[in-house]
Structure 1
């Protein structure tokens, strides 16, 4: 379950993505995009410490959809300055460090688990004054694997090649993240959205 809050985030997530996208080698949109959020969903960090979110955005009407997964942390991730989009003030949780998820081992771990075990996005619950309220995610994803499949542990990201696909090497499975949807689809066990490949495991 992903626990969310009715809260303000300043600057907002789309503000960070809009400032970060033009510097990506796989981005080909406007230099100062005004982003549209196409869809989003959450994954669970088993330790309950790191927010993990898949966000799909569009930089211009009718333009391509970009896959921009993020992680949110209450303290900086050691050695991950290259993947830091910036910090924001969360009105409930305080300061949050926002990362391109490609550089975060928690994202690699939950992504590999979802792919290999046929997992899906997390159920979302919003904390309110009246208790927890269920909220339907904006999108549904699924892994192509099967329940009960062993998942190798991931504790570190050792290399990231920021391309499309973005190649993520870990101390467990190696992953490839599709950044611009609608192009060539890499092959392998995959995470799918509306039958489009978002990510694959390229090596165990």
Structure 2
């Protein structure tokens, strides 16, 4: 994994993209079963956080969106340079990127690279990746407005299985050898005990739970 200043590093390639990320989210999100009673007629971006792919192949970004009635939606996406085999059901759209070429955009909850990065961040006490822009002058750190942190202190992450995704109400559950519980409609809940990813973003300055990981037996022997 790439690190900078003891943090994972994600690289943003300035470019013109079509559709834009917000445009594809505005087209796709209102048709999803996990939006509950949220008014998705208007969606605006509050912030986003990224994880880094150790192999440098898959972009990972979780978007936090404000709905017309003031609710907050959480939408993980992955960006790939080639189609993911057998993942047609989780393909959202394709995107034209003037620097990277054609990109395939997926629902991140179904993408094993995203699930692994999410679980690893949570159980090892990791943070969002620092985002750098690739410019002619070199890498330039972009200011972050959304910050996340895992609560765990494990020294290693668990081996995961192929993710199986189900939706119940406004909650998405990912079964992958551990159980990942991801509320799509974020309700501010302060971090308590257990393995969680908590975060802050503009308008939410007090850390609240974004994702929870349930592990059979808690695997406490990994702590330290």
TM-score, length-scaled by structure 1 = 0.90
Q: What CA distance in whole angstroms lies between the structure 1 residues aligned with 2:162 and 2:56?
A: 18
Is the 1:176–1:201 Cα contact (8 Å) retained in structure 2?
yes
Q: What is the SS of the residue equivalent to 1:119?
A: coil
Q: 2:181 aligns with which of 157, 176, 179?
A: 176
Q: Output the CA distance in 2 between the equivalents of 1:5 and 1:155.
A: 31
Q: Between Structure 1 and Structure 2, how many residues are aligned?
A: 199
| Among 30, 34, 38, the residue aligned to 1:29 | 38
Cα deviation for residue 184 of structure 1 reads 7.2
Query: Cα distance, 1:133 vs. partner?
Result: 0.6
Question: Take 1:51 and 1:24, find their aligned partners in 2: how far apart are those partners?
Answer: 22
Unmatched 5+ stretches in structure 1: none
In 1, the alpha carbon distance for the partners of 2:161 and 2:144 equals 28
Runs of 4+ in 1 over 6 A off after TM superposition: 183-187
Task: Determine the structure 1 residue equivalent to 2:145.
Answer: 138
Task: Quote the Cα distance in structure 2 between the aligned partners of 1:79 and 1:203.
Answer: 27
Aligned to 1:58: 66
Q: Deviations over 1:17-44 (max 9, x none)?
A: 112112222213346x332100112111
Task: Answer yes or no: is 1:200 the counterpart of 2:212.
Answer: yes
- Residues 1:191 and 2:191 are matched in the alignment: no
Asked whether the 8 Å contact 2:189–2:208 carries over to 1, the reply is no
RMSD (Å) for aligned C-alpha atoms: 1.9
User: Contact 1:106–1:155 at 8 Å: present in 2 too?
Assistant: no
Cα separation, 2, equivalents of 1:95 and 1:82 = 19
Give the number of the structure whose alpha-carbon radius of gyration is greater.
2
CA distance in 2, matches of 1:167, 1:20: 20
Aligned twin of 2:118? 111
The offset of 1:185, in angstroms, is 8.3
State the Cα distance separating 1:64 from its structure 2 match. Answer: 0.3
Cα distance per residue 1:39-67 (max 9 Å; x no partner): 1121111111000111100121x510000
Q: Mean Cα displacement is larger for which, 176-185 or 97-106?
A: 176-185
Long gaps (5+) in structure 2: 1-8, 201-206, 217-224
Task: Please give the secondary structure, in 2, of the residue aligned with 1:26.
Answer: helix
Contact 2:188 2:209 in 1 (8 A): no
For the Cα contact (< 8 Å) 2:77–2:106, is it kept in 1? Answer: yes
Aligned counterpart, 1:167: 173
CA distance in 2, matches of 1:78, 1:169: 20
Query: After the TM superposition, which residues 1-80 of structure 1 pair with which residues of structure 2 at under 5 Å, given as runs?
Result: 1-27=9-35, 28-30=37-39, 33-60=41-68, 62-80=69-87
- Please state whether the residue corresponding to 1:125 is helix, strand or coil: strand
Q: Does 1:152 align with 2:154?
A: no
